[in-house]
């Protein structure tokens, strides 16, 4: 340990490269963690480590942010949409599988999801839960997250009965009110599964700090609002025993929730948003989460003009969605797909995983880059090659593997080089 750090409460972590996502990459530095607060205490630009490593290159970087997950929905491989099936068939399969699970099943699924995330460098999730299982799992492991209980209330009730929804959310809010790493939001599933009256009443009664919803994910959703009917009617019929149309037709899904769109709203997917929708998002201050692999799996489509949206100042992060529509929860794999689809540089791609994701979740004062006073959520990566000159490119290289992961200054993963 260098002479500048004599306190037992300071942990110094050197690397061949320090990628802060705030300053240009630093060659041969260290990040000091204040273990009493879990914050970055100092970033040393020049640090001579006494540690010896046999070859390769180490890079210390911020942990990644998965801005849209369903940790409870864990599967060994994505659920396919067969050629003769509609999106409604796929949604029905997923809903049926989730309903068949016990709370113990969901907890185990969450634990498996979280371990996969940590092992691939993710330190913060924005999750949707049905019964709070992911909150218990995140708390057990000590991972940072925003978790939003999901609810459904379709139809045309003028005064929806949300007693079960509010009591469930209040119970979780009370249980985790003092948790230092977890925050409770709210997830109205989508405009086609939550009526405007139910949406408004839930926001009024619960005042959630974040609203996490799905928007413009499929063409069927767009058709339902434009025409009053689509294959989504099959979903409603199977699970509610009735069909119904939107309260208004000839408009987009986003327009139906325009009165409730604000800078606390996180919109997942957005693959079929119109230009008018994008302008509304920009004006409202809402955020969007792009899920490249899930979108490709479900619709073969991707978010149009990603670079232009970022230049407009719209906060956009990356998410995997669940393993029902994504082969894994590896955010670097998600980022590589985003890079391929949108022609991004390595640095632009990594910003989606870090600073942009933090901004989308309104946590850029806390996470997303390394600097004194920021949370010590970070990953030490190792690549077998020496003499590396572009750490951004190497961070996205599939050969690069995590050696150590810290969340709030606490080590949650540590590997020896010979086990990577």
- Transcribe 252-292 into DSSP letters: -HHHHTGGG-STTEEEEE-TT--HHHHHHHHHHT-EEEE-H
Angle at 163 between CA 162 and CA 167, to 5 degrees: 115
CA dist., res. 201 & res. 177, Å (int): 22
Beta carbons of 278 and 252 less than 8 angstroms apart: no
Contact between 73 and 31 under an 8 Å Cβ cutoff? The reply is: no
Q: What is the mean pLDDT of the chain?
A: 92
By the 10 Å C-beta count (0-12 exposed, 13-18 middle, 19+ buried), 281 is classed as: buried
Residue 8 has pLDDT above 70, yes or no: no
CB 251 within 8 A of CB 227: no
Print the SS3 string covering 370-389. CCCCCECCEEEEEECCCCCC
More confident residue, 48 or 93: 93
Whole-number Cα distances in Å, 343 to 295, 339, 347, 349, 396 = 17, 5, 12, 9, 14
Give 98-146 pLDDT, tens digit per residue: 778 888 999 999 999 999 999 999 999 999 999 999 999 999 999 999 9
The token pair that represents 75 in the structure block: 């599967």
Cβ within 8 Å of residue 419, ≥6 positions away: none
Q: What is the pTM of this model?
A: 0.95
pLDDT for 54 equals 62
Residue with tokens 């290159």: 57
C-beta pairs of 279-285 under 8 Å, 24+ apart in sequence: 280/254, 280/255, 281/254, 281/314, 282/312, 282/313, 282/314
What integer pLDDT is reported at residue 51 of this predicted model?
58
Q: Is the pLDDT higher at 181 or at 388?
A: 181
Task: Show Cβ contacts of residue 380 under 8 Å, excluding neighbours closer than 6 positions.
Answer: 13, 15, 58, 59, 60, 402, 403, 404, 405
Confidence band of 243 (pLDDT split at 50, 70, 90): confident
How deeply is 45 buried, as exposed, middle or buried, from its count of CB atoms within 10 A (0-12, 13-18, 19+)?
A: exposed
In three-state secondary structure terms, 306 is helix
pLDDT at 419: 39
Helix, strand, coil % (nearest 5) of the chain?
35, 25, 40
- Is pLDDT at 270 greater than 90 in this prediction? yes
Phi, psi (rounded to 5 degrees) for 21: 60, 20
Indicate if the pLDDT at residue 5 is higher than 60: no
Q: Structure tokens of 285?
A: 């201050």
Q: Is 250 helix (H, G, I), strand (E, B) or coil?
A: coil
Quick check: helix, strand or coil at residue 414?
strand
> How many Cβ atoms from other residues are within 10 Å of residue 234's Cβ?
17
Write down the pLDDT at residue 319: 98
The answer, yes or no, to whether residue 368 has pLDDT greater than 80, is yes
Distant-in-sequence, close-in-space partners of 158: CB < 8 Å, separation ≥ 6? 197
pLDDT on residue 241: 80
pLDDT number for residue 239: 77
**238 DSSP β-pair partners:** none
Report helix, strand or coil for 188.
Answer: strand
Residue 52, pLDDT score: 55
Q: Give the pLDDT band of residue 237 (cuts 50, 70, 90).
A: confident
- Name the pLDDT band for 2 (thresholds 50, 70, 90): very low
Q: Cβ distance 69 to 133 under 8 Å? A: no
- The tokens of 164 are what? 């079960």
Farthest CA pair distance, the chain: 72
- Mean predicted confidence (pLDDT) in 230-257: 89
Stated as kind and residue range, the H or E segment containing 269 is strand 265-269
**Angle CA(264)–CA(193)–CA(290) in degrees, nearest 5?**
50
Average pLDDT over residues 403-412: 97
């Amino acid at each position: 340990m260098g002479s500048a750090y004599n306190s037992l409460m300071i942990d110094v972590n050197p690397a061949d490269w320090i990628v802060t996502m705030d300053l240009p990459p630093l060659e041969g530095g260290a990040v000091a963690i204040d273990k009493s607060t879990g914050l970055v205490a100092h970033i040393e630009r020049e640090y001579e480590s006494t540690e010896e490593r046999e070859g390769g290159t180490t890079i210390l970087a911020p942990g990644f942010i998965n801005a849209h997950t369903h940790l409870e929905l864990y599967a060994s491989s994505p659920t396919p949409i067969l050629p003769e099936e509609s999106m409604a068939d796929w949604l029905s399969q997923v809903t049926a599988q989730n309903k068949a699970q016990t709370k113990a099943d969901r907890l185990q699924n969450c634990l498996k999801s979280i371990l996969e995330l940590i092992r691939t460098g993710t330190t913060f999730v924005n999750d949707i839960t049905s019964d709070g299982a992911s909150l218990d799992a995140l708390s057990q492991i000590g991972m940072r997250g925003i978790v939003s209980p999901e609810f459904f209330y379709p139809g045309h009730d003028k005064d929806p009965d949300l007693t079960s929804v509010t009591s469930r959310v209040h119970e979780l809010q009370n249980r985790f009110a003092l948790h230092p790493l977890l925050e409770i939001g709210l997830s109205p599933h989508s405009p086609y599964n939550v009526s405007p009256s139910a949406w408004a009443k839930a926001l009024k009664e619960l005042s959630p700090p974040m609203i996490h919803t799905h928007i413009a994910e499929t063409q069927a959703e767009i058709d339902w609002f434009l025409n009053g009917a689509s294959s989504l009617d099959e979903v409603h019929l199977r699970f509610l025993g009735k069909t119904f149309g939107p309260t208004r037709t000839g408009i987009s899904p986003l327009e139906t929730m325009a009165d409730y769109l604000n800078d606390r709203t996180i919109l997942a997917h957005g693959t079929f948003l119109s230009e008018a929708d994008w302008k509304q998002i920009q004006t409202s201050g809402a955020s969007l989460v792009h899920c490249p692999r899930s979108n490709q799996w479900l619709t073969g489509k991707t978010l149009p003009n990603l670079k232009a949206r970022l230049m407009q100042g719209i906060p956009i992060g990356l998410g995997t969605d669940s393993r029902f529509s994504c082969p894994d929860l590896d955010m670097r794999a998600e980022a590589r797909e985003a890079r391929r689809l949108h022609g991004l540089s390595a640095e632009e791609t990594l910003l989606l995983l870090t600073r942009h994701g933090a901004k989308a979740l309104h946590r850029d004062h806390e996470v997303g880059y390394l600097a004194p006073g920021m949370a010590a959520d970070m990953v030490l990566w190792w690549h077998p090659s020496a003499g590396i000159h572009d750490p951004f490119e190497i961070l996205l290289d599939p050969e690069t593997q995590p050696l150590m992961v810290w969340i709030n200054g606490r080590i949650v993963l540590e590997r020896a080089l010979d086990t990577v």
